[in-house]
Amino acid sequence: MRKNSLNFLIFRNAASLFRTLPHNGILFFRTDAFELGYAIRDTALPKDGRVLAHQLLIRPLPCRGHNTDLHLCHASQGIEAYAYIVSEERMQKITASLAGLFVSLSLLGFTATQVSAAAVERLVEAAKSEGVIEFYAPSTLGPKGAQELAEVFNKKYGLTTKVNFFPAGQMARDVSKIVGQAASGVPPEWDLAVVTDAHHATLWLKKLHQTFDYASLGVDSRAIDYDKGTITIASQIVLPAYNTKVLPPADVPKSWEDLLDSKWKGGKLGVPDSTHHLARLATGAWGEKKTLEFVKALAMQQPMLGPLGTLTSRLQLGEILIAVTLHDGFINRAKKAGAPLEFAKDIEPVISPALQVGLLKGARHPNAGYLFAAFLMTPEAQVIWEKYTGQGSAFVPGTSAYNFFKGRKVLYMTQDQATVVDRLAREYGRILGFGN
């Protein structure tokens, strides 16, 4: 590395760092809109020019030892810190453009922290008078999981809110119920609904979300969807799956296209009715033409069809050799029961449908609902959610999804793709034999 080159340390999601700024160097801010960096001279980095700061402290500290071989600042708890090499010329330009802004940026950072605290405080005060949350969520969470979330939520915010848990039955049916109630002018039965991003698309198109600036409560902007109406609280991992005691390692598919090999013909594959999984390949990685050809070829394999739960059972019994798509919720539950199910982990891209929470239009307890929705993205809530459901958000460091997706190509559906995914899912369902 040339002498006089600079290491530019960037803190991501650095809202809490505004309180303790480095005493010298170049500052560059970022939360959702800003970054906070620290320029230091004459230090060395590995060849890839990027180092993750593994040591995380409660509060950030200034960088130390300007002549050490490897120089890293510490980040506050839960914040990732990366070091990048920036040329002297580039840093001089950054210095010139930011030199006159240090004071104003520092004040802006402080103000942003205060606004966030004020937003939480307003919701807490309003939630006290509401006293309850009607919470529809996957049955895997269970009453015990919902109760544990409620206890931590109330302790965190000094509340005594009761969380009434309604386990999901069939999400498509229940979303239709919400739509029907709204059309009849009847308030929704639930305040918050946790359903897939595909089901939330229906509510979004019908304008049945109550939106909120969740970023002001500290929610990662990447997790906020449908015009600020939903938050991704769990990122499903969807891949082909197999039984390790039935399928030899040499036969495990290495690509999606491997599923079209003639050796899988005649009921050896299982295709679930969640055809929106395959539709995401069309909007994300492959385009509609390639995906349509893939689905038609898959239908020629004469797969067994059924719901995800049924195919999981068939996979455990060896009645099918591969489930074309299965999500990690079923894999995790099977493993807990001792079943040797596993993903074909070499396959990319990984499909990641989202479980999202959203406040329903006309909800009777909106403030408690907004606060609880944002709370579900906190590390303590994610630990509980993953404990009971086996899934976590890809946008919260430390969750299983966050760790699994590192270094992998992942498909997330955006709201702009929702109508296309819905159309293609229906089309692929007819091709595969699910009917209308």
Domains of the chain: residue spans and CATH: 6-110 (no CATH), 131-236+354-405 (3.40.190.10), 238-348+426-432 (3.40.190.10)
pLDDT of residue 364: 97
pLDDT of residue 231: 98
Chain segment 248-280, per-residue pLDDT in tens: 999 999 999 999 999 999 999 999 999 999 999
pLDDT of residue 173: 87
Separation of alpha carbons 365 and 314, rounded Å:
42
Name the region of 4 (left: φ>0; alpha: ψ -120 to 50; beta: rest): left
Q: SS3 for 306-355, per residue? A: ECHHHHHHHHHHCCCCEEEEEEHHHHHHHHHCCCCEEECCCCCCEECCEE
pTM of the model: 0.70
pLDDT of residue 100: 41
pLDDT of residue 227: 97
- Spans of the chain below 50 pLDDT: 1-115
Given the DSSP bridges, would you call strands 230-235 and 354-359 parallel, antiparallel or unpaired?
antiparallel
pLDDT of residue 436: 57
**Residue 135 CA: distances (Å) to CA of 161, 168, 286, 318, 364:** 12, 10, 37, 37, 12
Task: Please work out, in degrees rounded to the nearest 5, the angle formed at the alpha carbon of residue 142 by the alpha carbons of 138 and 148.
Answer: 115
pLDDT of residue 169: 79
User: Reduced to 3 states, what is the DSSP secondary structure of residue 243?
Assistant: strand
Chain segment 73-131, per-residue pLDDT in tens: 333 333 333 333 334 444 444 444 434 433 343 344 433 333 378 889 999 999 999 99
